[in-house]
A and B are shown apart, each in its own frame.
Chain A
Amino acid sequence: GEDVEQSLFLSVREGDSSVINCTYTDSSSTYLYWYKQEPGAGLQLLTYIFSNMDMKQDQRLTVLLNKKDKHLSLRIADTQTGDSAIYFCAERRITGGGNKLTFGTGTQLKVEL
């Protein structure tokens, strides 16, 4: 299909790991991104991964990419209350004359004490 899919909600306890999943659509997508949106704010880039990589780690964040299944995940270690936000995955599809991002529906992460 045309949609980038994510589960809508995830609830975790503070200190646990969070895993947010995403299924994208275009096997030719070159870069895949994770953005974070806090309440009342714009989207902020968290991390990205190039399509020839399987994994990328950046401090508490680990991105895993399974190209065969077109599956992307974001793992947040030691989740904190400040991580509560909506997380969007996005794929960069190559179109004629330029590139654009296609965003998923977003996963709302709630971190409980």
Chain B
Amino acid sequence: DAGVIQSPRHEVTEMGQEVTLRCKPISGHNSLFWYRQTMMRGLELLIYFNNNVPIDDSGMPEDRFSAKMPNASFSTLKIQPSEPRDSAVYFCASSFSGRSQETQYFGPGTRLLVL
């Protein structure tokens, strides 16, 4: 299995630009999670989906952030417009909801730098 795939691995952009982060979960998993990691705030859950439906988006910072999951094998996290304080590592994780233990498997992350 290829694991969770994220793209791009690195992104450098200028303030005000739109940024789109992509995630392909592990085949067969039905839950998908977007996290943000910074030195100051640690690891924060932004949003998660179950069977392609957003379940909890309470961690999404503000309206500039949006996430979609059009099908079971693809999700995007979009920031528009981006700001320097959005600089962070963004992780996608997936799991199979239904097993009692439900391990989350993480992707390698996208390192975003907004200048």
* Co-complex (A, B): yes
Query: Which residues does A use to contact B, with CB under 8 Å?
Result: 30-31, 33, 35, 41-45, 48, 50, 88, 92, 95, 97-106
The CA of A101 and the CA of B106, in the complex, are separated in Å by: 12
Q: Mark B42-68, 1 if CB is under 8 A from A, else 0.
A: 110100101000011000000000000
Most chain B beta-carbon neighbours within 10 Å: one of A88, A97, A99, A105:
A99
Q: How many residues of B contact A (CB 8 A)?
A: 23
Point out the residue from B50, B55, B104 that lies within 8 Å of A101, measured CB to CB. B104
Establish whether residues B107 and A95, one from each chain, have CB atoms under 8 Å apart when the complex forms: no
Known: A42-B108, A106-B42. A31 touches B102 (CB 8 A): yes
Which one of B50, B101, B107 lies within 8 Å of A48 (CB-CB)?
A: B101
Chosen A-B contacts, 29 in total, with CB atoms closer than 8 Å, are A30-B100, A31-B101, A31-B102, A33-B103, A41-B109, A42-B4, A42-B106, A43-B43, A43-B93, A44-B106, A45-B104, A45-B105, A48-B101, A50-B101, A88-B43, A92-B102, A97-B55, A98-B31, A98-B48, A98-B50, A98-B97, A99-B31, A99-B102, A100-B33, A100-B45, A100-B48, A101-B33, A101-B45, A102-B45
B45 to nearest A CB, angstroms? 6
Inter-chain contacts of A42 with B (CB < 8 A): 4, 91, 106-109
| Closest Cβ neighbor of B102 among chain A residues | A99
Contact B102–A105 (Cβ < 8 Å): no
Interface residues in B86-103 by Cβ distance below 8 A to A read: 91, 93, 97, 100-103
Task: State the CA gap A48–B33 with chains docked (Å).
Answer: 19
